[in-house]
């Protein structure tokens, strides 16, 4: 039986809270990969039939409390993982979430797996799902064009204001994450005369 964590969450700093959530998300993703590998093997052996059940999704509903629709989707992804080794590796290492993998496996194939993996590693789940939907509706090339257009729109500029403040302006598409999202006095920035700015 899993024991509840009795730590006092209020004692965590904001940074510690964010770090633990991100770390746990990676562990959950890796565990989900292992779970899906087992689901694929369960389905291959048709273990569910020995219990008089109709499918692996029905077994998941019976033994794991997973809804039928969600179970069918897990079985689909589990079967697809065997055909996308690079995506599977990143998933197993906790670098991809199930949400991203679920979307990727709808269109992933040997000829586009590397590109899709790069997209997923550098983008949000929402952006990955958007690109996949576009590829399914209008073709893969249009989805690639969309991602490349967003990449080309990236820009960043900085200047010193008359009062000495550093003003940073930029555009970052949803497919990329900012390494730093806040700037203030005494905080680290990626810009000109960094040492001067940090001393203010």
* Beta-carbon contacts of residue 151 (< 8 Å; ≥ 6 apart): 173, 175, 176
Pair (108, 70) in one structural domain: yes
Note the pLDDT tens digit of each residue in 99-141.
999 999 999 999 899 999 999 999 899 989 988 998 888 766 6
Looking at the structure of the chain, the number of domains it has is 2
In this structure, are 123 and 172 located in the same domain? no
Residue with tokens 């005494």: 186
Tell me what percent of the residues of the chain surpass a pLDDT of 90: 56
Q: pLDDT tens digit string along 165-185?
A: 777 876 665 544 444 444 444
Per-residue exposure over 179-194, b if at least 16 CB sit within 10 Å of its own CB, e if not: eeeebeeeeebebeee
| Residue 4 forms part of a structural domain | no
Write out the residue range of the structural domain in which residue 148 sits.
14-152
Closest by CA position to 88, among listed 27, 30, 24: 30
């Amino acid at each position: 039986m899993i024991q509840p964590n009795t730590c006092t969450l209020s004692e965590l700093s904001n940074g510690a809270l964010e770090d633990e959530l991100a770390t746990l998300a990676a562990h959950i993703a890796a565990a989900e990969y292992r779970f899906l590998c087992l689901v694929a093997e369960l389905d291959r052996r048709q273990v569910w039939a020995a219990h008089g059940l109709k499918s692996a999704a029905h077994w998941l509903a019976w033994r794991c409390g997973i809804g039928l629709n969600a179970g069918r989707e897990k079985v689909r992804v589990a079967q697809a993982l065997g055909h996308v080794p690079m995506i599977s590796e990143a998933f197993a290492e906790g670098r991809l979430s199930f949400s991203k993998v679920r979307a990727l496996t709808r269109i992933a194939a040997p000829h586009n797996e590397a590109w899709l993996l790069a997209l997923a590693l550098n983008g949000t789940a929402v952006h990955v799902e958007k690109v996949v939907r576009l590829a399914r509706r209008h073709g893969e090339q249009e989805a690639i064009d969309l991602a490349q257009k967003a990449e080309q729109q990236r820009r960043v500029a900085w200047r010193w204001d008359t009062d000495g403040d550093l003003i940073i302006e930029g555009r970052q598409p949803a497919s990329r994450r900012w390494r730093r999202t806040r700037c203030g006095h005494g905080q680290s920035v990626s810009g000109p005369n960094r040492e001067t700015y940090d001393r203010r």
